[in-house]
Structure 1
Amino acid sequence: MTNTKKFSVVLPVFNEQDNLQKLFAEIRCAADSTGWEWEAVFVDDCSTDQSLDVIRTLARDNREVRFVAFEGNRGQSVAFCAGFDAADSDVIVTMDADLQNDPGDIPAMLAAFGNGCDMVVGWRARRKDTFWKRIASRIGNAVRNWFTDDGIHDTGCSLKVMRRDMLMNLPRFKNMHRFFPILMKMQGATISEVVVNHRERHAGVSKYGNWQRAKQGIYDLFGVRWLMTRQVSYTVREKK
């Protein structure tokens, strides 16, 4: 990595018009406190509300804001990938745009990242979700760990810090964002976890139901498990 004192906050957005101004104000407060240069890269996933208009206004009024707007809805993983492609730094911070992730956790996560980690994963030890959503997440994490043995408590937490060069080498597929830790580990990444704050949704509604998430997750697990068993690597003894 060449520029370890700048980070990019990548934020997929779908119908979050009432959260974005407050979210950016909190990101600015947290990011400025780090002493690093930073930028916020919003990726609008073809929102049907006024999210893109709000993002355009933020970009007009704040030099740190850049954005990508999709022509059609492509999903969260594709939005993350577009943000990684657009980012102008070697360090990526990912988070949701619904204000449940707390930007105030960014400084501590960057500090952990600076201690020699390639990836830092947020752990929502005290989740502010409905009972059924917490149960579904607990079951999902247990099943995922059984399949992948990634050792992560809360891979579903979108608040993560990662090396961009490693992210750019990941295989890209639908719902890949749910498997960032194991995909990074397959590249030899050193990963740590930081307990982070989790908040109730400020405005808007969740875009995913438990049944939809579970059905897609099981299908994806088999695909990731296949990738793990088919991974190849080599060590060079000599070359000229």
Structure 2
Amino acid sequence: MPEISIVIPAKNEAPNIAGLLDEIDAACAPVCDYEVIVVDDGSDDGMDQILRERMETHPNLRLLQHLNAAGQRASGGQSAGVHSGVRAAKGHIICTLDGDGQNPPSELPALMAPLRAEGSEMIGLVAGQRVGRQDTMSKKLASKLANKIRGAILKDGTRDTGCGLKAFRREAFLALPYFDHMHRYLPALFSRDGWQVAHVDVAHRSRGGGSSNYNNLQRGLVGIVDLMGVAWLLRRRKKAQPGEVAREE
């Protein structure tokens, strides 16, 4: 049984996926026992064939594919990809990163370290915080504004919830309420359940190939609704926990 499960939600990342997996092996093999789960979110660029061939020589690589009710390939979004991967994972610690290659796998050991350290039982999430972000100016400005608004409303103490590099406890994640785009609100959701959230500065780099599956307008429109929903969840959290009374002898 692997200690760490590395979950990669990916759609149409054929130009990037093989190199990303090579980097993961180089970074993690000296550190821990791990598996890699790629969740194919409706790709049609041949990425799945690259992964099938690689699985023949890499027994710790697993492939999940999102399907609709008719059994055809379907896209559920990034949060659905993370959720599907975590449910299938065998490790008790989960690390996530994007499939576009912008999150350097060399950062994974630093992300998982706080959760593996002695006395870390109350840490539920380690959130990566991008430094020197390599994106277009419009994307960086939109992200900065969204993070500022989110932080003011949720007070989650996190400056960059959009970073794909995260590490967390599997059972704690699965106890969270699922909704599309929940991956952008994990610090607030983990804190809601009483977990401590740690932060690690991580590097960021340009996309290697392909194109982004989202644009600023799409993120902004869904973000307004999601933010109000998460704020409601925080207000309605369970405020008392049970303590069992011992039987008198």
TM-score bracket for the superposition, by shorter chain length: over 0.9
Q: Tell me the residue number matched to 2:105.
A: 103
How is 1:209-228 mapped onto 2 (pairs within 5 angstroms)? 209-228=215-234
Residue 12, structure 1, aligned to residue 23, structure 2: no
Q: Tell me the residue number matched to 1:90.
A: 92
Q: Tell me the residue number matched to 2:241.
A: 235
Residue 128, structure 1, aligned to residue 130, structure 2: no
Rounded Cα–Cα distance in structure 2 between residues aligned with 1:139 and 1:56: 40
- Determine if contact 1:33/1:107 at 8 Å carries over to the other structure: no
Cα shift readout 1:81-104 (whole Å, capped 9, x = no counterpart): 100011001000010000000000
TM-score, normalising length: structure 1: 0.95
Structure 1 position 113, deviation (Å): 2.6
Structure 1 position 210, deviation (Å): 0.7
Q: Tell me the residue number matched to 1:56.
A: 52
Structure 1 position 48, deviation (Å): 1.4
Structure 1 position 238, deviation (Å): 4.2
How is 1:188-203 mapped onto 2 (pairs within 5 angstroms)? 188-203=194-209
Q: The residue matched to 1:180 in structure 2 has which SS?
A: helix
Residue number among 11, 28, 35 corresponding to 1:31 in the alignment: 28
Structure 1 position 73, deviation (Å): 1.1
- Determine if contact 1:13/1:51 at 8 Å carries over to the other structure: no
Structure 1 position 157, deviation (Å): 0.2
Structure 1 position 70, deviation (Å): 1.2
RMSD: 1.3
Structure 1 position 219, deviation (Å): 0.9
Rounded Cα–Cα distance in structure 1 between residues aligned with 2:243 and 2:47: 53
Rounded Cα–Cα distance in structure 2 between residues aligned with 1:163 and 1:108: 15
Cα shift readout 1:30-49 (whole Å, capped 9, x = no counterpart): 01121x10000000011011
Residue number among 153, 173, 179 corresponding to 1:147 in the alignment: 153
Distance of aligned partners of 1:229 and 1:24 in 2 relative to their CA distance in 1, 3 Å threshold:
same
Structure 1 position 236, deviation (Å): 2.9
- Unpaired segments of 5 or more residues in structure 1? none
One-letter identity of the residue aligned with 1:143: I
- Determine if contact 1:123/1:195 at 8 Å carries over to the other structure: yes
Percent identity between the aligned chains? 36
Distance of aligned partners of 1:62 and 1:230 in 2 relative to their CA distance in 1, 3 Å threshold:
same
Give the paired residue count.
236
Residue number among 112, 115, 129 corresponding to 2:114 in the alignment: 112
- Unpaired segments of 5 or more residues in structure 2? 68-73
Residue number among 28, 36, 42 corresponding to 2:38 in the alignment: 42
* Poorly superposed stretches of 4+, deviation over 4 Å: none
Rounded Cα–Cα distance in structure 2 between residues aligned with 1:214 and 1:86: 30
Q: The residue matched to 1:118 in structure 2 has which SS?
A: strand
Cα shift readout 1:63-87 (whole Å, capped 9, x = no counterpart): 1101111121111111111000110
Moved more, 48-57 or 98-107: 48-57
Rounded Cα–Cα distance in structure 2 between residues aligned with 1:49 and 1:237: 53
Rounded Cα–Cα distance in structure 1 between residues aligned with 2:53 and 2:156: 40
Rounded Cα–Cα distance in structure 2 between residues aligned with 1:109 and 1:13: 20
